[in-house]
Structure 1
Amino acid sequence: MLQFGESMFPIGGFSFSCALESAVQKGVVTDASTLRAFTLTAVEQAARGDGIAVIAAHRAASAGDVDALIHIDGEVYARKLSDEARLMSVRMGKRFTEMGAQVIGAPLLRKWLECIDASVVMGCYPVALGMNFAIQNLTAQQAFVVLQYGTASTILSAALRLMKISHVETQRILFDLSGLTEAAYESAARAHLSSMASYAPLAEILAAIHTKAHVRLFMS
């Protein structure tokens, strides 16, 4: 769990800010308080959307149900509204699958990589994460924790490069939001795949703005 959930695991997550760059440029995020609010929205979005998919993918992978995994992947991709959100999910998903196939060597991961290469699936990150953890006999809750922690840490790491804020402040926010993960998991575990939703209009607008930004440090 620590190895595959580590923030510097080489799947390219450091290249993205989850629209924080636009939020800082437009004055939506200006200090620790507004950064916390922005990050909270992002982790709530993740729990209601990708988090449900991670759990569903974990269950499908545990059962060896490739058709279910293909369906889940399509549902995840369809809910990514911005080009950059789709790019982030697909790029990280393929790299995560590649790393898993090479490090773990599981047949299901190799088959999933073949599906990605053949354009049978897009290969979204939540599906790759759920599959990887199921194959390692790690729990769906552990996969969910990695998703939530990764979402928050990606934004907070980007904040250190985008605004005037200290490591202590970002770690305080991360510690605070991590305490919400257990309740979020319980809710996501009871939800059906069709319940996936990520309603957060301002976040989606900021993501769209970033696509046309003249100066960009991050890919999202």
Structure 2
Amino acid sequence: MVETLKLLQFGDSVFPVGAFSFSNGLEMAVQQGVVHDRTTLQDFVRTVTRLAATGDGVALLTGHRGAVAGDLDRIRQADEAVYLRKINEEMRTMSVRMGHKLAEASARIVGESLLKERIGGAANGVPVTYPVALGVLFAELGVTEEDAFAAHQYGAASMVLGAALRLIRVDHLDAQSILFAVNEKVADDYRDVYTAELEDMQGFAPHIDILAGAHQHAHVRMFMN
């Protein structure tokens, strides 16, 4: 029961890591007409969560397993794999900023941990990234890797849907219906990636990369990406 409560606390979409500042690419998708109604929004959210699974999700599992083994170097390698695969500057900023905030919050709330040690070693090297930090934190809190992965996927979807409520004509029930439908795919995504290694990480979505690159130079925007 205690582990479940910790999962709910740190996996909450309103946990103060700054997720509300980002749209995970949705803002430019709306501006370009790629997303314009509930159907296209659901398609976009599913694309985002699939990319989250095959990319950051693999690093999260590696970070979780590294924490279970007490292997700080494996955790650092997972952070490096995430950082190097963020082609767009805003996406890198999102991952690093949220990772740093989560590590700082963990140090204050949880205390001494591998994650605190990791952030201390990041000053002159590879930065802490959000998916890896989440995996490490949940491992140290006794949360299983399956539940840690699920929380990460939920967060990726809820970030987009939270932004959608401010960007297009959908209401809260539309957003919850989409979230419910997308959540049905989490177990399938986990089965697809649970044996993957860092070199297997992938995130081929050129349309989203182009939109993210265009957003970086937009003059008017509500979100950082």
Tell me the TM-score range normalised by the shorter chain: over 0.9
Deviations 1:108-158 (A, max 9, x none): 122112112x23221111110010001011111111011100000000010
Structure 2 alignment gaps of length 5 or more: 1-6
State which of 49, 59, 62 in structure 2 corresponds to 1:53.
Answer: 59
Give the 5 Å matches for 1:63-78: 63-78=69-84
Off by >6 Å, runs of 4+ in structure 1: none
The CA deviation at 1:207 is 0.5
Q: Structure 2: which amino acid aligns with 1:166?
A: D
| Superposed CA RMSD | 0.8
Deviations 1:77-103 (A, max 9, x none): 111110000000000000001111111
The CA deviation at 1:71 is 1.1
Q: Which residue of 2 aligns with 1:96?
A: 102
TM-score (norm 2): 0.95
Q: Structure 1: which amino acid aligns with 2:11?
A: G
State which of 152, 175, 178 in structure 1 corresponds to 2:157.
Answer: 152
CA distance in 2, matches of 1:46, 1:186: 14
Q: Matched residue pairs, number?
A: 219
Deviations 1:16-72 (A, max 9, x none): 001100000011100000001111100000000000111011000111111111111
The CA deviation at 1:107 is 3.0
Contact 2:158 2:179 in 1 (8 A): yes
CA distance in 1, matches of 2:162, 2:30: 14
State which of 7, 12, 22 in structure 2 corresponds to 1:6.
Answer: 12
Contact 2:113 2:140 in 1 (8 A): no
State which of 133, 139, 142 in structure 1 corresponds to 2:138.
Answer: 133
Q: Structure 2: which amino acid aligns with 1:47?
A: A
CA distance in 2, matches of 1:107, 1:45: 29
Q: Percent sequence identity over matched residues?
A: 46
Give the 5 Å matches for 1:5-24: 5-24=11-30
Q: Which residue of 2 aligns with 1:168?
A: 173
Q: Structure 1: which amino acid aligns with 2:138?
A: F
Q: Which residue of 2 aligns with 1:108?
A: 114
Contact 1:106 1:135 in 2 (8 A): no
TM-score (norm 1): 0.98
The CA deviation at 1:214 is 1.1
CA distance in 1, matches of 2:222, 2:93: 16
CA distance in 1, matches of 2:20, 2:124: 25
Secondary structure of 1:18's partner? coil
